[in-house]
Structure 1
Amino acid sequence: MVLNEGNQSSVTTFILLGFSEYPPLQVPLFLAFLTIYTITLLGNLGIIVVIRIHPKLHTPMYFFLSHLSILDICYSSVFTPKLLEILVVDDRAISFKACMAQFFFVCAFVITEMFMLAVMAYDRLVAVCNPLLYTVAMSRKLYALLVAASYTWGGMCSLTITYSLLGLSFCGSNTINHFGCEYSAILSLACSDPYFSQMTCFIISTFNEACSLLIILSSYVFIVVTIVKMHSTGRLHKAFSTCASHLTAITIFHGTLLLLYCVPNSTSSWLFIKVATVFYTIVIPMLNPLIYSLRNNDVKEAARKLINTKLFSHAM
């Protein structure tokens, strides 16, 4: 919908195309995304419950894991319900305010997760390199502060980028070639010069990527060096296995974001942008519980005890 005011006009409603260019895939995509979203909710909620219930898991590492699960639920829930809706209904409209709100929240949660992953890497660095001083170095006050700082920084960065978008004029087409209010899709509809918004997003995205990756990679380098010096084959294998699984998820997550937001004037096709967005907003939140928690023996043992307790209580 476009409102005309004199010689100016402004878009008040956007139309999300989603994957409408592939009509035969609408139902299969709906079922696939619904399945993934269900697994994401169950997996991450399960981790949060297990960590909260079992005192053995009340440590900084699992505190960070629980917040990672919260973030996965949050930013997956910003995009996925709307995606499921536009796959099965003809009305694909979203108001301008709802579109900006959707962009703000997904941007805030993604940036927060970047630094949550970095905080988790630092936590493992302290645990491996200074095991005797771990409880002192990672005090309750410090790890709560690190989590609060991650959320605060994510919100501030997202607010800045969203503000730069609000300064643009949208007076032409109101059709977004995406299933959600993704940055490049919104920017493509702007009538005014998007240079300031592009540079704002580029600087913030590049800075965040560089800082978070530097912390993660530096932490893992020190972890590997420390383990190698221990001359323990078992612990060495465990360390490399843990690093490999973490770095796989980190590479997928950060690699996707780098391609989308840290390459100015990207010539990527809209299909690639949609698939990449599906990956980091829908698929990765489902994979994170498997990569970071369900492979952890403490979490699996706690979950097994919880299930057995519930079954026993029902049997009684």
Structure 2
Amino acid sequence: MKAPLCLVLATLFWSGNFVVGQAAVESVTPLELTFWRWAFAAVPLLLLAQVVEKPDWRAVLQRWPALLLLSALGMSTYTLLLYSALGHTSALNASLITAANPALIVVIALFLPGDRPGPAAWLGIALGLFGVLLVLTAGDLQQIAGLSFNVGELLMLGAIIVWAFYTIIARRLGLPAIAATAVQVSMACLTLAPVALAAGATLPDDAAAGWSLAYIVIFPSLGAYLLWNLALRSTSPAAAGNYLNLMVVFTAALTLLLGMPVTVPQVLGGILVISGVLLSGLRRRSAQPVTA
């Protein structure tokens, strides 16, 4: 499967995660949702890796320090922050803030060998960040001076910082994509299990929450992480990060379909974010691609 299609499908599945996750956290705690998400996804991913890639598991596990770091970042910390944020902000706001991720990845990548953004790309980054600020402040930019933001938006800012580091480190891992993802998920289960048991985590006891968990396990967990890691084998972190902005479009469409309100600051912020990603995707002709 081509990298662009993998990235489009991954972002579509993650967009559904925002909407479904927002509904799920009304009856399931972020810790329970995170733990059961990976607990149910671990074995299918391990089996899929064995069937499709037939990896040298000993060689894969020799990279356990890096895999454990990625698991802590992408599977545990990012997911906990995301579901915690969805308890305090809307799915559309969360996706709009996620759209700042390409800017973060580009800035972090400045300290690594590879692409360097040109003037148009920097302009795009600035537009995207301004759009995110509109969402953070609900159009009242004076809130910036008083640092008065909704806790949900602040949690999402923390989440996208974590995801930026996950993307860059995962690109340089050099392991079979499915096997690496499966091991990360399994590590997340093991590390989260004691905390979940101590907190008395239980499975959802109503049908709606159960179906929400099923969606989250199948699509955002199995499908999206698999497709994202497959794409990173042939795509730079900065290029892959640009596709995350599609989540704004997908989440907005789902929000409208479900009859949820969309505000003027969200619309204006989304336009700026999308315009910004189109500009930030531009590269100087002399620029060299990022190499692992």
- What's the TM-score, normalizing by structure 2? 0.30
Structure with more contact order per residue of length (Cα contacts < 8 Å, sep ≥ 6): 2
Mark the structure with the bigger radius of gyration: 1
